[in-house]
Amino acid sequence: MPIDAEKEITRLWRALHGAQDEIGKTFYRWRQVALEFAGPGAKPLDVGLRAAEIFGKEIGKSLLPRQNWLKGEEAFLMNLGRCLADIWGVEGGIAAAEKGMAGEVLIRCTRDPWPSWAKEYGAPMEEVALCRERMFQTILEDVSAFFNIRLRIELQKAIARGQGETVMRLYKVA
């Protein structure tokens, strides 16, 4: 039986987009349930940041096998930056890593689906920006410990803040 390649690609493309959409919606569904269980005194930002830490810890563990120092510090940071940018890609965003100044790597995201999901569930945009930064910082904790170097990431700009793109600066602390 012949396969219609175009039809199959379209089917897979739709399935991918459906899965990507569920990633963010699941996060915000979980957030909503956690807030209900936590009670009226719970701060939504604290719940979101804690979830970002949990996500970051798990993602950080999965990144370790793909990291190495064999090609030097600059290549290590660029590879790590690409891995962080790829997280956005998995979620349906568009992001890339590029060399910055003086040994830093800039991660630029030009399309981020998280603000749309947050809006759908009534989460503030500042929470979206802070949660992404917290998740990436937490990812770096295990990487830093494993390679015995101090890594930092700083949010420079955020789509969720209306700044057109999200830019994060990844660097080794001297």
Q: What is the pLDDT of residue 159?
A: 96
| Angle of the 44-63 helix axis to the 5-38 helix axis, nearest 10 | 130
Closest to 22 (Cα-Cα) out of 119, 94, 92: 92
Distance, in Å, from the CA atom of 57 to the CA atom of 158, rounded to the nearest integer, reads 22
Position 153 scores a pLDDT of 97
- The confidence score (pLDDT) of residue 23 equals 85
> Angle, to 10 degrees, between the axis of helix 125-147 and the axis of helix 73-90?
140
pLDDT along the chain (174 residues), means of 10: 87 85 89 93 94 92 81 91 93 94 94 94 94 95 91 96 96 92
Cα 96 from Cα 84, distance rounded (Å): 9
- pLDDT at residue number 38: 92
Which pLDDT value is given to residue 21?
83
pTM: 0.88
User: Please, are residues 143 and 63 in contact by the beta-carbon 8 Å criterion?
Assistant: yes
Map out the domains of the chain with their CATH numbers: 5-172 (3.30.1380.20)
Closest by CA to 27, choosing from 109, 121, 93, 112, is 121
